[in-house]
Amino acid sequence: QVQLVESGGGLVQAGGSLRLSCVASGRTISAFGMAWFRQVPGKEREFVADINYSGMNTTYQDSVKGRFTISRGNDKKVVYLEMNSLKAEDTAVYYCAARAGPLRGSAYFYAYWGQGTQVTVSS
């Protein structure tokens, strides 16, 4: 069993920045990767960014590419999402997820999920 806890969400003006953190605890997870997803009311959860275990490979949704950066802590059990140049359409609940295999990008591939942190961007 693995527990993921997100933090860092809040209210920010358009053009501003936020840094989200996710800490994994409990039993050791497989050495593959972690990701961020987001969800707004009435829409399915969408992929935002993924990072592999080593932190050397990252994948981003087109709408956040160049604005968001995903990274890992030295112990590989913490993942960050640096969000810059925030837009109103970035408003969502952001979820941290961990995968137990090499496949990524779809919510089906992630076995563990946090409870989410709200990000609200005002315009």
Our measurement of the distance from residue 60's CA atom to the centroid of its chain's CA atoms, rounded to an integer in Å, reads 10
CB atoms within 10 A of CB 30: 13
pLDDT on residue 100: 81
Whether the pLDDT of residue 51 is over 80: the answer is: yes
pLDDT per residue as tens digits for the range 15-46: 999 999 999 888 766 567 999 999 999 999 99
Q: What is the pLDDT of residues 87-106, one digit of tens each?
A: 999 999 999 999 888 899 99
Amino acid identity of 35? A
Determine the residue type at 68. F
Q: Are strands 10-13 and 117-122 parallel, antiparallel or unpaired?
A: parallel
pLDDT band at 77 (very low <50, low <70, confident <90, very high): confident
Beta bridge partners of 78: 23
Q: Supply the pLDDT for residue 30.
A: 56
Residue 15 CA to residue 66 CA, distance in Å, equals: 14
